Chain A
């Protein structure tokens, strides 16, 4: 949909040095938004910056007709976005793309790297608990980042989570894949005695973050036979599948390499089809 959404809120959250903003938009986007989808926002009416900016939908409130976005000021476009005030209107294309599959049973393991946690927020809210048990593994640079990017929000939601930081300022020091791997080992030990695998609760996984992390998580999930969906980030122009600027590479059933469009066929893909470091 090609929309004019009203800015209800747009403010810095957390430590100023982290430059993370929360934006709430009111309008039609909330009606059909699904976790994992994104909106393509025109940050200014001029032609510089020229392109729209893709931002994940981090919260969906259909009753209030509101979606929430979290963004980090990364350059010119997001800086202009941060200057927009409440009650102004923004040109929004969306909701766009194909989102996450939402499990109905078992345990849902979520792995997020850095600001990759933002689309995970709306996903967590869409999962019916306690029928589905959620556990989040989230890795960030340091304590300041995690606090600014929504640690308190997680605590309020009462989600079971484990965090890691690169500098050890909060949680365990290291990569988010460390506790994830460890947890899977514990789970498989605790079910070691169960012969009939249909008696163990199914495990599902979803991940969003930098490509290196997604690749590592994919390997871990493949080893453990856990179906995983990943949300990929690519530079985008059109956002609707017309320009072929945002492709990722997949291997089809016949074993041939193919391109898929992150904006239309994704951004969420089945991890097992993605070819990492395709080199072509």
Chain B
């Protein structure tokens, strides 16, 4: 083994199949808006990629408030996929996103197979840079297929909890795009490995996991659920052990590169996910607590690799196995 001095460079380049990122730190869908809100605190240009809020074919008002409930080291949300809809997203948000010096992952959600096909083909047209300004980022870098949102009554999680429909959704997207397709898995299933295999046969290029865990909180004063929608998705440090376990299982079940997420708040957490088998990590709820978290995590990852003598951050992926 080659010996390194303490000051050596660690290659942060992250290859997720054909999706190449400058580093393995991504921001998670729904927690980073459309890239503008946190720009003043944590420049998108220092991130591997950003994932935008889930888009649906038509605009959605989402669920009524209260949409948030705090739990020990966790957050329940029932935003319910509030978003401007595909058309408005393409016209008003995408041009600004394309200017960012980072890879942009567009998260899509639907209520039918047609919804997913429609969005994939509409976004396909915008997947290539339109001019020199956009060439640096390259328009849209990948599509993340959200088959796992627990906050909507029909569709959404139904696709994410049934292997056959999960496979069909991924196939529908895949047929309508040349972009790398990331299938985002729901943790609200008995056998996560089975779901991973299903999206893999559907043609997914990358798997991201986990989305939020379905949960509930009841106010003992009013004796009613805190969330107007009654149930919501649990995120934050509280769910991390569940997410690590699932990344570990999926790594053994399929060959695809994985994006790990679920409660990552520190660089140590990120290392844990990579050892479990994630090639990249996504930061969600932690942004709310510390808007610099993605940068601090990146720095910690790099230092960890340097101190341990790795020349590429990818060398630690999956080391917890075998």
Contacts and interface: CB of A to CB of B under 8 A. Distances in A.
A257 B237 contact: no
B314 interface: no
10 contacts: A1-B40, A42-B289, A51-B288, A239-B288, A240-B37, A242-B33, A244-B53, A246-B68, A248-B65, A280-B64
Nearest 6 A/B pairs, CB to CB = A242-B33, A242-B37, A245-B68, A47-B73, A238-B288, A235-B68
Instruction: Tell me what chain A mostly uses at the interface: helix, strand, loop, or mixed.
Output: loop
A244 B79 contact: yes
B68 A280 contact: no
Interface in B63-77: 64-70, 72-75, 77
Given A2-B292, A42-B289, A49-B70, A243 B237 contact: no
A241 interface: yes
A110 interface: no
Contact of A259 (B62, B66, B236): B62
B187 to A, nearest CB: 19
B82 interface: yes
Contact of A240 (B70, B74, B291): B291
A25 B53 CA distance: 34
A47 B265 contact: yes
A184 B179 CA distance: 63
Given A50-B285, A93-B291, A237-B288, A242 B32 contact: yes
Interface in A180-210: none
B291 to A, nearest CB: 6
B289 A50 contact: yes
B288 A247 contact: no
B41 interface: yes
A244 B31 CA distance: 9
Interface in B115-174: none
B287 interface: yes
Interface residues of A, number: 34
A279 B289 contact: no
Contacts of A51: 70, 75, 288-289
B61 interface: yes
Contact of A50 (B75, B79, B292): B75
Interface of A: 1-2, 42, 47-52, 91, 93, 234-249, 257-259, 264, 278-280
A235 B53 contact: no
Contacts of B31: 238, 242-243
B30 interface: yes
A248 B68 CA distance: 13
A259 B288 contact: no
A280 B60 CA distance: 11
B38 interface: yes
Contacts of B265: 47
B65 A50 contact: no
Contacts of B72: 48
B73 A245 contact: no
Contacts of B291: 2, 93, 240
* Chain B CB within 10 A, most for which of A50, A246, A279: A50
A50 B70 contact: yes
Contacts of B61: 249, 257-259, 280
A50 B38 CA distance: 19
Contact of A2 (B41, B68, B70, B237): B41
A244 B236 contact: no
A258 B285 CA distance: 25
A1 B287 CA distance: 14
Nearest to A278: B64
A246 B75 CA distance: 13
Contacts of A52: 288-289
Interface string B250-278: 00000000000000010000000000000
Contact of B37 (A238, A278, A280): A238
B212 to A, nearest CB: 12
A235 B67 contact: yes
Interface string B289-308: 11110000000000000000
Given A48-B72, A243-B30, A279 B64 contact: yes
Nearest to B227: A235
Most buried by A among B61, B285, B288, B290: B288
A50 B77 contact: no
Contact of B73 (A42, A48, A234, A239): A48
